[in-house]
């Protein structure tokens, strides 16, 4: 029996009829043709299916479609800003932080979430944040470099948008 | 010194041409293919290592609403797509359900009743090697191989011997001899993209297959063979490939999807799950190696004797021993190899097949030898390494001193012998060799009327090939890289093209692209000469234009030229090249690992890895570094954690990515690369194949570093904490 | 997954009513284990009752009496809590070691407890911190010490009509520190082959152990206490020799099996090594907390 859900995906409101046993991943790929989200294992062990659920990275293979009723999802198709790549996306391309690219959407989303939380992560923090995103091609070296580069871009961007607040007791 | 060429685009760190598509999720991988009216197939796999099928009943599965078809071997008497009488490995295909929803197909799968009679099984190749082993296949042709007592060895499928010189004499000349036994399990490529294939019956009766593979023609030929159809009935379109590493050379579910599409006259997609990849994929074969190496006091190698038993899964097959010698001068050799059947899936290729396993044994033995000789392991290798003029593994003499240079430069970069190491820290070196293949390949270039250039090739891009090809075309035609578009031709569009495997893709297609571009360039210059009414040899190309050398005001843009060529007698501007083969050269890799061993838990932490490689010329250093990083990481994965594990009942225990793990970002150190650029005479601009070599030496480098750190030798990969601790405790007990 | 009915009540009362009325209903929290079992078809409830929309179960409350972890609280929230890091270091370490960032954003502490896998990373620390489990049903509420919850691998005394609404952890008394360490092959994304949690209360001399709690994970059908090892430490100065002896005894209290992750012998040895290190880490944490309270007091 399908259930109706109302959800926002990549900024757009959707009213969907979903069978409860469909995962969010299956719903995105089969029902909405948002195939940028990948299935690498189906068991939460590889991170290829990472999406942002209310801003937080989750494995969409372990979330039911019906669970996102009233919630907001960003997939890789919604990470760029009208064609302008997110700094993480840009850096992954520029630094060669991808080879076959199958893990890349998940890494881009998780990297973007990391910078949202921590605009200046050190290498260990980046590696820990990405531990749930397996990559078989790159050995992670250039991915980590790309996230570091993206963090620099991200900070520059935020600095130009909102001037840093003066220290309260300064 | 490197031969100086005036190169602009070739040799630059160009970003991937498919980067923007990948990073926005628009790149289309195999499972992303969606066709109107498509239905989904799910395979039924046998759960036993060895069994006889007594009965299959699909009645209940067929009755499930939404199920379109259920097919077993009984429905296909002329084809071998499913087991019908005997199953010889856990995971073997027994049937398939097709439904309009993948979950419904899974529901129906549970309702297929199969009655099995379980038979004795064997998964250990050393057990399978014995005369009294249970037979892996009851229906196999009788074995011709016998043991020393004349007893038939039922599971032995090949036996080979390589003898050079007189090995007994060689050991008699040796002052020092080391010997050890090594084990490598089955290990999986673990490409992140599970296999998926979609097939459609076309109005003309032909079948189109979309799949992620390393070559469209091999898939076409294999499907044609499996379905007993002429090749011309099948068109294969390779999608973006989500990792392959040798595994996607052959078919997985392509023939099954095609068969169903023909039966149902509807598009059919079959996507494998991760556990199916482990159970019914084609992982790398395991092996058991006995290896004995002899040397004089000064370190000169005198003799090598070895035996390798290759675990070839249920279908058996061979495996070479000559890679045990690898890259050293050794006058007296006797190497024996066996290929045995076991109740496991049929292994396939995995990045430097055969080299990884043999290098682990060979390079570990070299380290043992260095210790016994009290000699520096780098010195020992340099002393025995083949050098300019020596025959390489495939017999051709070495053009340059590539191996020794790579050892020297990697050792220098790693500050070999100069590093201060802490307690329980150690450093180890190991070397690897790979000779890439070549051809057939092709390139077809067209100059567009907007000044863009299109390159069509049948060579599949796995991780960067098309970017490098675009660089080559941009270089030769002196156009901006953004002007070059690369298209992968399907089996209807281009002549037969080899697999992108064995590190041959850039070597072969790169040569084809360069030659095609040079032909296009001649054609452009002729057309420009006609257009500008000057001699062609007065003209040069640059920035998308053809300009007169003597009078810069005389010039024409490529766009204009392409448009005018339409009306010329020679017609539109193009250039093409089809090649069969090329001479090839070995490439060498040297890894130096620094580790720290936790003597309490046996955990090994990699502190640093320096990966050196003889690349000929790095056409795109960023992509070459990426290959080195990735290959090294896969090999250190094998060294520390990967591999199939079987239980007492011959069942696979770890068909998932937690218990059959690959390294995460937290398991990999920063990998420093050393690219030795000493071009070879046959690859494009002197380049050599770069994909396989970085996969080879890492596991042995780690084993050697562990020995340096805590004085113990682990001879089985993966070198898990438990294995380290066991050997540490055994060593402590011995000393006590 | 086989088909099921999905309910997402917004009150505990409705959730309890749903469980009461239905046969074969399961509670869905983070789903990182449950959905996996559904996918493998190891479990096929006819109804899933999703409790994530119940506001009253979503609280992570900290106070002078301790910590109350509602059924909806994820590992990430535990990880991000300064109070947990400060006063419940063992729990913090356990939660931070689970899976990946993606998993920790979904998986809940209460879910980790209810799944009752022997290798659950938050259970040994919760046991040594003397956590209690609060369960509700239409018949009312009951509380149990966490240790008494487990009956075997994957099984607990929680009834099908009950919901574990929270785990309650008393504020460790002054001088108490805790720690958790596990062994796994990978540095992340792994399951424990063995895990050891220790909570120690030190006397004012900062050396003598007043009381010790030691719990072991992945080395028995359920997480277990190493009570003989605890006795060795109690009332004694924490000399290296004593710690080593307690660790040795703890390893004899483990009852591990051999499986794909490790052999029984290896697990036993790892417990010894980890126990010694974790006892030291818990003592260091106790000293740290002691110093902090002196500074603020």
User: Within a domain: residue A127?
Assistant: yes
B27-66 residues touching A, CB cutoff 8 A: 27-29, 31-32, 34
Between the two ends of chain C, the Cα-to-Cα distance in Å is 56
Measured CA to CA, the distance from residue A142 to residue A94 in angstroms comes to: 10
Residues from chain A contacting residue C4 (CB–CB below 8 Å): 20-21
Whether C101 sits inside 8 A of A1 (CB atoms) is no
Would B19-25+438-579 and B34-119 be classified into the same CATH topology? no
What is the side-by-side strand order in the sheet with B176-184?
B156-164, B332-340, B301-311, B286-295, B176-184
Q: What is the mean pLDDT of each run of 10 residues along chain B (736 residues)?
A: 74 97 98 97 98 98 98 97 98 98 98 98 97 95 92 96 97 98 98 98 98 98 98 98 97 98 98 98 98 98 98 92 89 97 97 96 98 98 97 90 98 96 98 94 97 98 96 97 98 97 95 98 95 94 93 95 92 97 96 98 97 98 98 97 95 97 96 98 96 97 98 98 96 74
User: Within a domain: residue A135?
Assistant: yes
Neighbours of B541 (CB within 10 A): 17
Residues from chain C contacting residue A27 (CB–CB below 8 Å): none
Examine the pLDDT at A94 and tell me if it is beyond 90: yes
- The tokens describing A99, both together, are 């080879």
Asked, as a colleague might, if the bond just before B440 is cis with ω within 30 of 0, I would say: yes
| Confidence tier at A10 by pLDDT (50, 70, 90) | very high
Are both A12 and A63 inside the same structural domain? Answer: yes
Q: Which residue among the candidates B276, B363, B433, B692 is catalytic per the annotation? A: B692
Q: How far is A54 from chain B (nearest CA, A)?
A: 20
Between the two ends of chain A, the Cα-to-Cα distance in Å is 61
Residues from chain C contacting residue B640 (CB–CB below 8 Å): 185
pLDDT at A169: 43
Scanning B165-231, the segments in alpha helix (DSSP H) are 167-173, 216-227
* Domain ranges for chain B: 19-25+438-579, 34-119, 286-436+584-735
- Domain formed by B19-25+438-579, architecture: 2-Layer Sandwich (3.30)
Measured CA to CA, the distance from residue A96 to residue B111 in angstroms comes to: 47
Pick C188's closest partner by Cβ from A62, A66, A131: A131
Q: What are B86's strand-pairing partners?
A: B52
pLDDT at B1: 42
Instruction: Give the CA radius of gyration of chain A.
Output: 17
Clarify whether B692 is annotated catalytic. yes
Whether B667 sits inside 8 A of C2 (CB atoms) is no
Domains, chain C, ordered by start: 5-50 (3.30.43), 56-170 (3.30.465.10), 176-296 (3.30.390.50)
Nearest of B603, B599, B640 to residue B732 by alpha carbon: B599
User: Within a domain: residue A40?
Assistant: yes
Q: What is the 3-state secondary structure (H, E, C) of chain A?
A: CCEEEEEEECCEEEEEEECCCCEHHHHHHHHCCCCCCCCCCCCCCCCCCEEEECCEEEEHHHCEHHHHCCCEEECHHHCCECCECCHHHHHHHHCCCCCCCCCHHHHHHHHHHHHHHCCCCCHHHHHHHCCCCCCCCCCCHHHHHHHHHHHHHHHHHHHHHCCCCCCCCC
Measured CA to CA, the distance from residue B73 to residue A157 in angstroms comes to: 61
Whether A36 sits inside 8 A of B24 (CB atoms) is yes
What mean pLDDT is predicted for residues A25-53?
Answer: 98
Q: How far is B600 from chain C (nearest CA, A)?
A: 6
**Chain centroid, CA B69 distance in Å:** 36
**Which residues form the domain of A9?**
3-78
Residues from chain A contacting residue C188 (CB–CB below 8 Å): 128, 131-132
Place of tokens 């046998």: B46
Those residues whose C-beta lies under 8 Å from the C-beta of residue B657, and which sit 6 or more positions away, are A41, A43, A45, A46, A134, B190, B274
C5 touches chain A (CB under 8 A): yes
- b/e string for C229-265 if b means 16 or more Cβ within 10 A? bbebbeebebeeeebebbbebbbebbebeeeebbeee
User: Within a domain: residue A124?
Assistant: yes
* CATH number, domain with residue A95: 1.10.150.120
Measured CA to CA, the distance from residue B680 to residue B618 in angstroms comes to: 12
* CATH number, domain with residue A72: 3.10.20.30
Q: Please check whether residue A72 is in contact with residue B685, taking contact to mean a CB–CB distance below 8 angstroms.
A: no
**Chain centroid, CA C204 distance in Å:** 28
Whether A100 sits inside 8 A of B18 (CB atoms) is no
Q: Tell me which H or E stretch contains B362.
A: helix B355-373
DSSP readout, B721-732? HHHHHHHHHHHH
> Of the residues A26, A44, A78, which one is the last residue of a structural domain?
A78
Q: Is the ipTM of this complex over 0.90?
A: yes
Residues from chain C contacting residue A69 (CB–CB below 8 Å): 8
> What does the angle CA C292 – CA C294 – CA C297 come to, to the nearest 5 degrees?
105
- b/e string for B105-118 if b means 16 or more Cβ within 10 A? bbbbbebbebebee
pLDDT at B4: 65
Are both A23 and A61 inside the same structural domain? Answer: yes
Superfamily classification of domain B34-119: Aldehyde oxidase/xanthine dehydrogenase, a/b hammerhead (3.90.1170.50)
Whether A41 sits inside 8 A of B240 (CB atoms) is no
Q: How far is B628 from chain A (nearest CA, A)?
A: 8
| Confidence tier at A161 by pLDDT (50, 70, 90) | low
Measured CA to CA, the distance from residue A51 to residue A28 in angstroms comes to: 10
What sign has the CA pseudo-torsion B672, A142, B688, B632?
positive
Nearest of B123, B180, B177, B178 to residue B727 by alpha carbon: B180
* Pairing mode, strands B671-676 and B604-614: parallel
pLDDT in tens, chain C (297 residues): 999 999 999 999 999 999 999 999 999 999 999 999 999 999 999 999 999 999 999 999 999 999 999 999 999 999 999 999 999 999 999 999 999 999 999 999 999 999 999 999 999 999 999 999 999 999 999 999 999 999 999 999 999 999 999 999 999 999 999 999 999 999 898 999 999 999 999 999 999 999 999 999 999 999 999 999 999 999 999 999 999 999 999 999 999 999 999 999 999 999 999 999 999 999 999 999 988 888 775
Topology classification of domain B286-436+584-735: Aldehyde Oxidoreductase; domain 4 (3.30.365)
Are both A73 and A115 inside the same structural domain? Answer: no
pLDDT at C162: 97
User: Within a domain: residue A167?
Assistant: no
User: Within a domain: residue A168?
Assistant: no
Whether A21 sits inside 8 A of C4 (CB atoms) is yes
Chain C residues with CB under 8 Å of a chain B CB are 1-2, 41, 183, 185-191, 259-263, 266, 269-270, 273-274, 277
User: Within a domain: residue A134?
Assistant: yes
Q: How many domains does chain A have?
A: 2
Rounded to 5 degrees, φ, ψ at B357 are -65, -45
Are both A67 and A113 inside the same structural domain? Answer: no
Q: Please check whether residue B613 is in contact with residue B592, taking contact to mean a CB–CB distance below 8 angstroms.
A: no
Taking each helix axis from N to C end, the angle separating C264-296 and C240-253, rounded to the nearest 10 degrees, works out to 130
Nearest of C149, C152, C154 to residue C166 by alpha carbon: C149
DSSP readout, B112-137? -EEEEEE------HHHHTSTTSPPS-
Are both A101 and A37 inside the same structural domain? Answer: no
Q: How far is A16 from chain C (nearest CA, A)?
A: 15
Are both A7 and A74 inside the same structural domain? Answer: yes
| Confidence tier at A162 by pLDDT (50, 70, 90) | low
């Amino acid at each position: 029996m399908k259930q109706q859900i109302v959800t926002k995906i990549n900024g757009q409101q959707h009213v969907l009829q979903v069978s409860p046993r469909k995962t969010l991943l299956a719903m995105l790929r089969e029902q909405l043709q948002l195939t940028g989200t990948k299935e690498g294992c189906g068991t939460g062990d590889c991170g290829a299916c990472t999406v942002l659920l209310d801003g937080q990275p989750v494995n969409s293979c372990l979330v039911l479609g019906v669970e996102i009723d009233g919630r907001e999802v960003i997939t890789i198709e919604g990470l760029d800003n009208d064609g302008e790549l997110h700094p993480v996306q840009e850096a992954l391309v520029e630094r060669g932080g991808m080879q076959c690219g199958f893990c890349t959407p998940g890494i881009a989303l998780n990297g973007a979430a990391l910078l949202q939380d921590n605009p200046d992560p050190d290498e260990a923090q980046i590696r820990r944040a990405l531990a749930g995103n397996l990559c078989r091609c790159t050995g992670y070296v250039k991915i980590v470099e790309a996230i570091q580069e993206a963090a620099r871009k991200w900070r520059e961007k935020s600095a130009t948008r909102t001037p840093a607040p003066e220290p309260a007791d300064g | 010194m490197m031969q100086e060429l005036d190169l602009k685009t070739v040799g630059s760190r160009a970003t991937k041409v498919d980067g923007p598509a990948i990073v926005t999720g628009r790149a289309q991988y195999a499972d992303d293919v969606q066709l109107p009216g498509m239905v989904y197939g799910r395979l039924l796999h046998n759960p036993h290592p060895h069994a006889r099928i007594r009965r299959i009943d699909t009645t209940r599965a067929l009755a499930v609403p939404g199920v379109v078809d259920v097919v077993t071997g009984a429905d296909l008497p002329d084809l071998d797509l499913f087991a019908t009488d005997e199953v010889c490995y856990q995971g073997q295909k027994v049937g398939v359900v097709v439904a309009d929803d993948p979950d419904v197909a899974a529901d129906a799968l549970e309702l297929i009743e199969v009655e099995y009679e379980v038979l004795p099984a064997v998964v250990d190749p050393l057990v399978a090697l014995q005369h009294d082993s249970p037979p892996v296949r009851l229906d196999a042709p009788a074995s011709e191989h016998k043991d020393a007592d004349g007893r038939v060895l039922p599971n032995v499928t090949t036996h080979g011997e390589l003898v050079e010189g007189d090995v007994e004499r060689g050991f008699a000349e040796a002052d020092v001899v080391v010997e050890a036994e090594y084990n490598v399990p089955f290990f999986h490529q673990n490409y992140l993209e599970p296999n998926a294939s979609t097939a459609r019956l076309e109005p003309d009766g032909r079948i189109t297959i979309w799949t992620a593979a390393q070559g469209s023609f091999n898939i076409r030929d294999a499907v044609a063979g499996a379905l007993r159809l002429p090749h011309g009935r099948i068109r294969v379109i390779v999608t973006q490939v989500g990792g392959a590493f040798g595994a996607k050379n052959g078919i997985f579910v392509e023939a099954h999807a095609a068969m169903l599409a023909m039966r149902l006259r509807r598009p059919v997609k079959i996507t494998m799950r991760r556990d199916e990849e482990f159970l019914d994929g084609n992982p790398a074969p395991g092996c058991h190696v006995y290896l004995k190496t002899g040397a004089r006091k000064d370190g000169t190698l005198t003799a090598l004797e070895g035996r390798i038993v290759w675990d070839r899964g249920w279908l058996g097959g061979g495996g070479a021993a000559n890679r045990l010698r690898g890259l050293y001068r050794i006058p007296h050799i006797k190497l024996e190899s066996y290929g045995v059947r076991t109740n496991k899936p049929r292994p396939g290729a995995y990045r430097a097949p055969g080299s990884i396993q043999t290098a682990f044994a060979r390079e570990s033995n070299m380290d043992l030898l260095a210790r016994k000789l009290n000699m520096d392991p780098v010195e020992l290798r340099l002393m025995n390494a083949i050098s300019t003029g020596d025959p390489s593994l495939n017999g051709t003499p070495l053009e340059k001193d590539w191996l020794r240079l790579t050892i020297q430069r990697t050792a220098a970069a790693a500050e070999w012998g100069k590093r201060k190491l802490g307690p329980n820290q150690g450093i180890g070196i190991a070397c690897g060799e790979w000779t890439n293949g070549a051809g057939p390949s092709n390139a077809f270039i067209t100059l567009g009327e907007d000044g863009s250039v299109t390159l069509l090739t049948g060579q599949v891009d796995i991780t960067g090939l098309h970017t490098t090809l675009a660089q080559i075309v941009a270089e030769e035609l002196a156009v901006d890289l953004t002007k070059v578009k690369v298209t992968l031709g399907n089996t209807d569009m281009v002549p037969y093209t080899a697999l992108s495997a064995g590190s041959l893709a850039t070597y072969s297609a790169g040569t084809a692209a360069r030659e095609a571009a040079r032909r296009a360039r001649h054609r452009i210059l002729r057309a420009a000469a006609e257009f500008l009414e000057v001699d062609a040899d007065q003209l040069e190309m640059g920035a998308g234009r053809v300009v007169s050398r003597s009078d810069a005001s005389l010039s024409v843009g490529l766009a204009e030229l392409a448009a005018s060529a339409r009306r010329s007698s020679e017609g539109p501007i193009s250039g093409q090249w089809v090649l069969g083969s090329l001479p090839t050269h070995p490439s060498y890799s040297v890894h130096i690992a620094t580790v720290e061993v936790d003597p309490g838990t046996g955990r090994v932490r990699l502190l640093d890895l320096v990966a050196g490689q003889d690349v000929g010329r790095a056409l795109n250093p960023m992509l070459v570094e990426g290959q080195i990083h990735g290959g090294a990481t896969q090999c250190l994965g094998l060294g520390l954690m990967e591999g199939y594990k079987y239980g007492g009942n011959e069942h696979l225990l770890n068909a998932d990515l937690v218990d059959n793990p690959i390294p995460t970002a937290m398991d990999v150190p920063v990998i420093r690369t050393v690219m030795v650029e000493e071009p070879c005479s046959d690859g494009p601009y002197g380049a050599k194949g770069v994909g396989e070599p970085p996969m080879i030496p890492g596991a042995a480098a780690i084993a050697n570093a562990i020995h340096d750190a805590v004085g113990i030798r682990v001879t089985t990969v993966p070198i898990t904490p438990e294995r380290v601790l066991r050997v540490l405790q055994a060593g402590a007990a011995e000393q006590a | 997954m086989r088909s099921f009915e999905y309910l997402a009540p917004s009150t505990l009362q409705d959730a309890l009513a749903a469980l009461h009325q239905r046969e074969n209903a399961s509670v869905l929290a983070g789903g990182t284990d449950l959905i996996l079992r559904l996918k493998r078809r190891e479990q096929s409830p006819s109804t899933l009752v999703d409790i994530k929309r119940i506001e009253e179960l979503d609280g992570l409350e900290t106070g002078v009496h301790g910590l109350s972890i509602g059924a909806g609280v994820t590992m990430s929230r535990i990880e991000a809590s300064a109070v947990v890091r400060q006063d419940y270091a063992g729990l913090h370490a356990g939660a931070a070691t689970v899976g990946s960032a993606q998993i920790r954003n979904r998986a809940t502490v209460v879910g980790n407890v209810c799944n009752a896998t022997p290798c659950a990373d938050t259970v040994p620390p919760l046991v040594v911190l003397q956590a209690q489990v609060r369960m509700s049903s239409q018949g009312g509420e009951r509380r149990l010490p966490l240790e008494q919850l487990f009956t075997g691998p994957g099984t607990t005394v929680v009834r099908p009509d009950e919901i574990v609404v929270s785990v309650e952890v008393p504020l460790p008394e002054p001088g108490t520190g805790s720690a958790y360490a596990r062994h796994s092959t990978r540095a992340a994304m792994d399951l424990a082959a063995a895990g050891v949690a220790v909570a120690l209360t030190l006397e004012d001399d900062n050396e003598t152990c007043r009381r010790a709690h030691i719990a072991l994970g992945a080395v028995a059908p359920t997480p277990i206490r190493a009570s003989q090892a605890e006795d060795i430490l109690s009332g004694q100065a924490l000399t290296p020799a004593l710690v080593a002896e307690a660790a040795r005894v703890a390893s004899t209290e483990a009852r591990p099996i051999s499986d794909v992750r490790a052999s029984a012998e290896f697990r036993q040895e790892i417990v010894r090594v980890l126990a010694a290190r974790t006892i030291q880490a818990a003592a260091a944490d106790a000293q740290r907390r002691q110093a902090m309270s002196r500074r603020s007091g």
